Structure 1
Amino acid sequence: MPKVVVGATGTPGSLAALHKAAAEARVRGAELWVVLAWQSPGGELGSRNGLGPAALAECRAAVVERLRDVLDTAFGAAHPGVTLAGLTVRGTAGAALVDTASDPDDLLVVGTGSRAAWRRLVRPSVARYCVAHAACPVLAVPPSPLEAELDVAHRRNFWRMPLDLRELAR
């Protein structure tokens, strides 16, 4: 059966991608696979230097709980209307998504996220990785305009800038 694979982290962009993926799965009659990628504390180097099986099991349990929280935030009591599978994968987000959506009949849905110049330096784009390496079609979901307005409000609060009341009247 074809599947629609989507990455989920709980950010507003990933929740938008998750809802778009659920809609695509309904239209295609496909299963919805929600993937949460994770790495051990300290990355792979940390897991080689003394992170025992008990600590890894604790990390896995925390990631599974995080995935449940993300799905609860996204859908709440409402069911997405398709067969839903949650999957936690140890590895980088891009590789985990590409490996999960390995069939040419699958669809991979990713959020593009905020691509501010300073963020590109710190964190590579998962969407770009998926477009370059996926064996199936990739649907990139842009961030909501509301997310950009939220970023502006956060910056204003950070710099303690006053709110212009004319902006609220728009």
Structure 2
Amino acid sequence: MTEDEPRIVVGVDGSPGSRAALRWALRYAEQSSGRVIALIACGYPALIDVVLPMSEGDVAAEARRELRKAVEETAASLGAKVPVEQTVVRDHAARALLDEAQEADLLVVGSRGRGGFAGVLLGSVGQHCVLHAPCPVVIVRHADG
């Protein structure tokens, strides 16, 4: 990899919207000879101890498994040969994506992730990224169906 390769950061949470964003990022990286950094954030949801008691290590391990699964399945479905750096961050999604995007040429996120309300076109993470990112942001809408 060289410094001239576009650096494409994509948010992944396992949702259909994030899978669509990952597909878009992989296709774009192939066309632009870019490199992809797939990031999953695993900040604690407010009620995780009540709903699903897990240690911090368990939460990070589950996030790592989810990210690896999403990247492997998505790349295989496209036949993509783009190398993907997989990053697990212990933080809230918007903050983690914005931090990673500091050195990026492009930030790609799905229109809605796991916390989306039905009918909402842009989730809170995507909206925050659009308003505060230091680079261009692509919001990829997942076709429900």
TM-score, normalising length: structure 1:
0.67
**Cα separation, partners in 2 of 1:15 and 1:77, compared to 1, 3 Å:** closer
What secondary structure, in the 3-state scheme, does the structure 2 residue paired with 1:91 have? coil
Structure 1 residues 122-133: aligned runs within 5 Å: 125-133=124-132
| 2: CA distance, partners of 1:98 / 1:41 | 19
Alignment partner, residue 56 of structure 1: 56
Gaps of 5+ in 2: none
* Cα distance, 1:138 vs structure 2: 0.4
Cα deviation for residue 91 of structure 1 reads 1.1
Higher relative contact order (CA 8 A, sep 6+): 2
Q: Give the equivalent residue in structure 1 for 2:44.
A: 40
Note the aligned Cα RMSD (angstroms): 2.7
How far residue 107 of structure 1 moved from its aligned partner, in angstroms, is 0.4
Alignment identity in percent?
A: 32
Matched letter for residue 127 of structure 1: G
Deviations 1:63-95 (A, max 9, x none): 111211222332238652222101111111111
1:106 matched to 2:105: yes
Kindly state the Cα deviation for residue 38 of structure 1 after the two structures are TM-superposed.
Answer: 0.7
SS at match of 2:82: coil
Residue 28 of structure 1 is matched in structure 2 by 32
Ranges of 4+ aligned residues in structure 1 off by more than 6 Å: none
Aligned pair 1:18/2:17, yes or no?
no
CA distance in structure 2 between the partners assigned to 1:108 and 1:131 by the alignment: 9
Assess, with a 3 A threshold, how the Cα gap between structure 1 residues 88 and 112 changes in structure 2: closer, same or farther: same
Q: Which runs of 5+ in 1 are unaligned?
A: 151-170
- Per the alignment, in what secondary structure is the counterpart of residue 108 of structure 1? strand
- CA distance, structure 1, for counterparts of residue 70 and residue 101 of structure 2: 20
Q: TM-score, normalised to structure 2's length?
A: 0.78
